[in-house]
Structure 1
């Protein structure tokens, strides 16, 4: 099954909350060409269904390389941006009151709406279409022996534990296996994966999975260096602390070939200013 198949409109409407009048509209229909595969109709589901590995929805979710759809992704896809902004702003106003602020004072009058728009931007990766991102920018490789590295792709993401920002750089290296991809697409892939609620460890794996799915390279490695505000602005509050993660995969049967490729990546990486 092609994991980039179009989201099933019928599925979205069938997964609506009981009594909901929301349906696919012209504003949201363009969002449906996302990462979710075609699936049979699912009349209703619960938390138990999500955790049941034999349930159809659970199987559908397990078949997708990214951690999407989240259980409520269908709600966002089926709701206009105007309605999403209004609902988020309503609850943000309540939060301002609960922390002791006055949402009616001049400086905060438009804050709930501004926050809602910002949050939709911070999490736009849930609705981005990977097929449009890659946009058929795949080409035949002239050499399947050379390492290709894109270094220090800047990104911003949001920690799923505290909704605090984390940000840094991502570097990607791969050895082709018949196909290469336009270099700018790596930055776009990182953006899709980062613009959702994340943890750094999964972010690197998400990026690697997309590259593997698109190129089936002989070798691919993704490294991320990031600063987490949940660690520097709260909690232990250790300023300047960085977290480094690495994930890699290869088609090499010989472990030495994989180790040599990884060593080559870091030699080239460290030689690049």
Structure 2
């Protein structure tokens, strides 16, 4: 279908809106990771790193869309372990023993997220003093910036593959996929700084966000092994946890205002 026909086709617009919503929801995971990672950089580098990271996400998605036939082939099994696993209630295998490149990418990305989130949780609970560092501040900042960009690239790759495969499953029109990806990354770019600043101002949110990354990592690994957890459950749990944390933050602010008013 040509562009002119797509513009006047209500079904195409419905598919575009649905795909944008889905891509934004999937992009939340990527954005949380970028926000937590870039907040550890020197303040003058944080915004630059976020923009580079999100820009790379857009570049990767566009490259993957231009190689759409290669991406679709990533779901073809490349090897089979041949292990007879446990079966479900209807006799179906409880996990897959045939793995595609997509499965391997998801498993690797999930393991990386588990490692990174666990490391950040440990650092948050038991921070290591840096006053004994051998390198000077400029060297440390440069090393951290390069490391942050490298880690963002790794996770961008995982989330980009998942994003494009989701788009392929929802529409056959490449033009709709391109528009949805560009709009989604634009929304991520706008939301990146406010989200990162919100996390920075509220330290307890960092632990909640790291918990989200642990859960997302576990879900990616499960998906790679063929155990598909409905995304609706995941994001409902995340929304519920975020709502509870918002209530806790409101309660703390009220207590602080009351203490300030009474001079305690």
Q: Same fold (TM over 0.5)?
A: no
More strand by share: 1
Bigger RCO of structures 1 and 2 (CA < 8 A, at least 6 apart): 2
Structure having the higher helix fraction is 2
TM-score interval for Structure 1 and Structure 2 normalised by the shorter chain: under 0.3
